[in-house]
Structure 1
Amino acid sequence: MTDKIAVLGAGSWGTVLANLLVENGLNVALWTHNPKQIPEINETHHNQHYLPDFVLHDCLRATTDLAAAVAGATVILFVVPTNAIRSVAEQVAPLLTDQQPIIAHAAKGLELNTKLRVSQVLTAVLPKGAFRGPVVISGPSHAEDVATRDITTLTVASTDLQAAQTVQKLFMNDYFRLYTNTDVLGVELGAALKNVIAIGAGALHGLGYGDNTKAALMTRGLAEITRLGTHMGANPMTFIGLSGVGDLIVTCTSVHSRNWRAGNALGQGEKLPDVLAHMGMVVEGVSTAKVVHELAKDQDCDMPISEGIYQVLYQGAPIKTVITDLMAREGKPEFDFGLTLQNASKQV
């Protein structure tokens, strides 16, 4: 019997992942809260708002019936915006009876107010013992490129390695490859924090800065991501992998990145409310910047680039002033090896 996979969320990423699973020969139910998407996906095989001109597999079916979508599913994959994870999980919770599906997610952010990672939200909301996982799918990937079968490699992370391996096998094909990892903390932090740095990368482009500046931002941005991650107990090696530097590269350099496009617009002088209104999709890095600001304070962790981006987004600081202030900071060594080794020894 073919495994049934429930994909929750019919945005660009959810739709592409659901379509890939159908192409892999699996039975997929794609859930959406928007009834207007149903005839478009089921009858015309398009999702034009999110994936213009991409033709979906004619066996892919969407529904607004959440209970029907998850019924009998061996894997339930959450692909909704981070700050919608809790509300959707609350709806899924009473539907988990005795099937014990693997719970997975492909979101990249941190929940506002609670500062929780997505796997923590899912674990808190869903009934204990009613599921396996959670499993995190993350790494350098844009839906638009996967839709054209561009070669893509991702990380699939869980403390339940068998669950991660199960998800790995479901997705693997000749253009989509996944590597397992047990460092859920590091994978989720890398996925979320790179969105903040990508806003900065877009802003630099909008201001007309060149490749040297972009490389500086990405490299020192990665240092900040690693610093906070290791402070919190993540494996430092995770941040030089697919869900760390890999995801950072693609998000900071691609016009497909909503975070990059938002930053680019800010760099060109647009106001944040206008940028978000015109985007038409969630820009995860904006809310994540606020959470990172709070986490850095909680952890007493120095993150000047992330803090500068927070000041631009939430305090109206001029981007050029933030750049000047960053460049005027006191000189310091590139690496603090003692701190790195100390934090690495505290991995959980």
Structure 2
Amino acid sequence: MTPVQPTGRVAQDGSPPPGGLRVAVIGAGSWGTALAAMSSRFCPTLLWARDPATAASLAEHRENRRYLAGVSLPDTLAYTADFDAVGRHLAGPAPALIILGVPVAGLRDTCANVAALLSRHAPGRTDVVWTCKGVDPNTGELPHQIAAAALDAYPDIAQGVLSGPSFAREVAQWLPVALTIASRDPGLRERVVTALHGENVRIYASDDIVGVEVGGALKNVLAIACGVADGQGLGTNARAALITRGLAEMTRLGVAMGARPDTFAGLTGLGDLVLTATGDLSRNRRVGVELGKGQVLADILAQSPHVAEGVRAARAVQSLARRHGVDMPITDAVCALLFEGATAREAVACLLAREPRQETPASDS
């Protein structure tokens, strides 16, 4: 595909540049910005920021100075703070793709706003993809359930989740990355590949939405546990054990909820877990490290502009596990530390005091 011509501008009227698939990314945080930068290399892409000053700064400096300081953004990327400009950008007979770069807490309202936008501008074929990883703490819903309810007036809109082991800063720096697009619609999967796959980016396809989303939610909770162990100086043996047994928890819950077990051996299960539990750029691991050192949760969260989804998701994940009758001791220990007054040392001691058991179910032979 021929790259679009450089623009590096604030979109004034929202009119799309010439080309095939058009992409709009909603949310100018670190991940939304990184995905918009990625997409703009292959398709006409508009990044929407809630704050007009943010959109103007992005266009002037070609840098997200709050979330991705020091990373240059492509000249091919356009910016706006006008939500209706997104509709005008997507309007026309060619297919369009909306990528929602918002956290779980903002997904419901954002999807409702997108539904209203589509009703006003009535573009052609438009797909909606979200990137958030977590569980609604109030309802226990996974992101696909939240999105489906908000977009139910538009049954023809294909929906999907984009996930996998990825730090936004590295993606924006155009370092290699592999992601998974999960959707029951093969056309949507193909269009996401068109928008994002190429050069340093590999996009794999799946139809296991539940498995991909359970992996995305659980890896954040488990990364907090691994960070606690690192903060206490418990060594790499302990970290490896937590990752391995955490993967077992993730798989048990996912299968109980209807996911395929092989999904958790892939990018959105083991891959994302390893990255988030070990990488220095992981905000969830960082929360755990500070907890392991004895810091107070409220103080840790106040020091970062980024959302640590594992904190928001932990209780909801625990509730899902109890609802499905799944044993999840690492998740229980994280919840005890975050919400029940346990110290990091007490949470670790509780895990170590568990009775011995077989690692895998016994064979009948």
**Correspondence for 2:142:** 117
Instruction: Give the distance between the partners of 1:27 and 1:87, measured in 2 at CA.
Output: 25
1:298-326 CA-to-partner distances (Å, cap 9, x unmatched) read 11110000010011111121111111111
Q: TM-score normalised to the size of structure 2? A: 0.89
2:71 alignment partner in structure 1: 54
CA distance in 1: counterparts of 2:247 and 2:118, whole angstroms: 39
Equivalences for 1:177-216 in 2 at 5 Å? 177-216=202-241
| Cα pair 2:167 2:282 within 8 Å, conserved | yes
> Size of the alignment, in residue pairs?
337
Question: Residue 89 of structure 1 aligns with which residue?
Answer: 111
State the 1:293 CA deviation: 1.2
Q: Distance in 1 between matches of 2:99 and 2:259?
A: 24
Looking at structure 2, the residues matched to 163 and 337 of structure 1 have their Cα atoms a distance apart, in angstroms, of 41
Q: Which residue of 2 aligns with 1:343?
A: none
Partner Cα distance (1:162, 1:21) in 2? 17
- For residues 229 and 145 of structure 1, the distance between their equivalents in structure 2, rounded to whole angstroms, comes to 28
Please give the residue correspondences for 1:160-309 in structure 2 after superposition, counting only pairs within 5 Å.
160-309=185-334
Between the aligned partners of 2:362 and 2:283, the Cα distance in structure 1 is: 35
Code of the residue aligned with 2:51 in structure 1: it is N
Q: How far has the Cα of 1:208 moved from its partner? A: 0.9
CA distance in 1, matches of 2:160, 2:153: 15
Residue aligning to 1:9: 27
**d(CA) in 2 for partners of 1:287 and 1:105?**
18
Question: CA separation of 1:319/1:325 partners in 2, compared to 1, >3 Å: closer, same or farther?
Answer: same
- Given the superposition, is the C-alpha separation of residues 7 and 169 from structure 1 closer, same or farther in structure 2, using an over 3 Å criterion? same
Aligned equivalents of 2:294 and 2:355: distance in 1? 29
Letter in 2 for 1:136: V
Corresponding residue number in structure 1 for 2:51: 34
Contact kept, 8 Å, 2:24 with 2:98, in 1: the verdict is yes
- 1:3 CA drift (Å): 2.1
1:150-196 CA-partner distances (Å, limit 9, x unpaired):
21111111011221122122211111001100100000110111000
In structure 2, C-alpha distance between the alignment counterparts of 1:143 and 1:294, rounded to whole Å: 30
CA distance in 2, matches of 1:132, 1:126: 8
8 Å contact kept, 1:140–1:154 = yes
The Cα of 1:254 is off from its aligned counterpart by: 0.6
User: Runs of 5+ in structure 2 lacking a partner?
Assistant: 1-18, 91-95
**Partners of 2:238 and 2:128 in 1: CA distance:** 40
SS in 2 for 1:36: helix
Structure 2 residue matching 1:280: 3-state secondary structure: coil
The answer to whether the 8 Å contact 1:100/1:130 transfers is no
Q: Secondary structure at the match of 1:320?
A: helix
TM-score by length of 1: 0.94
- For 2:30 and 2:304, locate their aligned partners in 1 and report how far apart those are by CA, in whole Å: 13
Q: For residues 59 and 126 of structure 1, what CA distance do their matches in structure 2 show?
A: 30
CA distance in 2, matches of 1:131, 1:69: 19
Distance across 1 between alignment mates of 2:154 and 2:305:
38
Question: Cα 1:248–1:101, aligned 2, differ >3 Å: closer, same or farther?
Answer: same
C-alpha spacing 1:337/1:57, structure 2 compared with 1 (3 Å):
farther
Q: Distance in 2 between matches of 1:310 and 1:330?
A: 20
CA distance in 1, matches of 2:362, 2:305: 43
1:70 matched to 2:92? The reply is no
Tell me how far 1:48 sits from its aligned partner. 1.3
Kept in 2: contact 1:22–1:59 (CA 8 A) = yes
Deviations 1:209-238 (A, max 9, x none): 111000000000000000000111100000
Task: Give the deviation of 1:148 after TM superposition.
Answer: 2.3
Structure 1 residue runs of 4 or more that deviate by more than 6 Å after TM superposition: none
Deviation at 1:72, TM superposition (A): 4.7
